[in-house]
Amino acid sequence: MAQVKIKVNDKIPENLYFGVLNDNEEEPRKIDSSEVFKGKKVVLFGIPGAFTSVCSSKHLPQFVQNYDKLKAKGVDSIICTAVNDPYVLREWAKAHNVGSKVMMLSDGEMSFHSALGLTQRLPFAGERGLRFSMFVDDYVVKLLNVEEPGALNYKISGPEHMLKQLEELEKK
């Protein structure tokens, strides 16, 4: 596992890219971090892998369920990223009736996870992303929650914890 490099008050690098594949598209398209973060308030969460137990039973569904609460806090976009290809993420989103509530960003080449030090090695899965959540305001990381390595760890990266942190941030 790489050492986590990103921390609160750091800026997300502008030269990182993701793959996106929406329902009506046949081929993935590339978007860079400026499209994702420039001038926006974003809740980004990362998962070890689509269609895995905790990611499918808790992490993604809870962000979908808390969509309205997060939007009420001024969040422009709720985004999920994983070290999966765009096709897998699209099908996973369909399986969970995500609709337009959560944007799926593929980091199949690990450019984002590696640059931020958010990687782990999992048995039978290889190099994957750590489970995390962050609140980013115009490239600047304002909140960051990184789980301990392992596919099943899920304590601080969910939407309920993020909502509490956003409330505290509003008070400052």
**Catalytic residue ranges:** 55
C-alpha span between 129 and 83 (Å, rounded): 6
129 in Cβ contact with 81 (< 8 Å):
yes
C-alpha span between 20 and 51 (Å, rounded): 17
E strand segments, 21-166: 29-32, 41-47, 77-82, 103-106, 119-122, 126-129, 132-137, 140-146
DSSP 8-state code for residue 55: I
CB atoms inside a 10 Å sphere around CB 62: 15
| Residue 15 phi, psi (nearest 5) | -100, 15
